[in-house]
Amino acid sequence: MLTHLRPAIALMLLFTLLTGLAYPLAMTGIAQALVPGTANGSLITRDGVAIGSVLIAQPFAGAGYLHPRPSASGFNAAGTGASNLGPTSAELTAQVAGRRAAYEAATGTAAPIDAVTASGSGLDPHVSPGNALAQAAAIAAARGADPAAVRALIAGAVERPLLGLYGEARVNVLATNIALDAAFPMPPAAENGDATE
């Protein structure tokens, strides 16, 4: 019996070391060498401190910032997910109506669908170009900036579909807000010390 078990145990140990240790370490090393930023979570740092990731949405407070899609999980990366409310849900209808009214009051424009509906994960880091550009006037007013310049910055931040085919045009909220801070600093009276909630 031991003659049958010995090769099985040896192979199990070999493949555990190979697929459970050697392969993951090799892939990690290759990723760190070729694309270290992506391998480390696509983090954005400011003054050596990670302030977010281009892959995960976070909330922004105040009219001087581009706002992400609503989040059913409260932008909690540990508990992502949708609300699971269906199209016939009165609660979902009320939420969308409330978001639409707030968006239209803040921007003076009709609310695009991604401004009033949450993404499936609740952490979508992008908004549509239409949504971002509709927020430009409020951002410019809060920052005391030229609305045309803010629109130009947002238009320059539009990410095109991969190879012109895959995905949709989109604007990364965090990266755009960092660019807005650099190009049009908030007036001292409007600063609250932290862009995020």
The string of pLDDT tens digits covering residues 75-84 is 777 777 777 7
What's the pLDDT score for residue 197? 44
Residue for token pair 């803040």? 106
What's the pLDDT score for residue 149? 94
Q: Identify the CA nearest to 63 among candidates 144, 175, 179, 130.
A: 144
pLDDT tens track for 20-51: 999 999 999 999 999 888 888 888 888 888 88
Q: CB of 102 within 8 A of CB of 149? A: no
The type of residue at 6 is: R
pTM of the predicted model over 0.85: no
What's the pLDDT score for residue 176? 93
What count of Cα atoms within 13 Å lies in the side-chain half-sphere of residue 108? 5
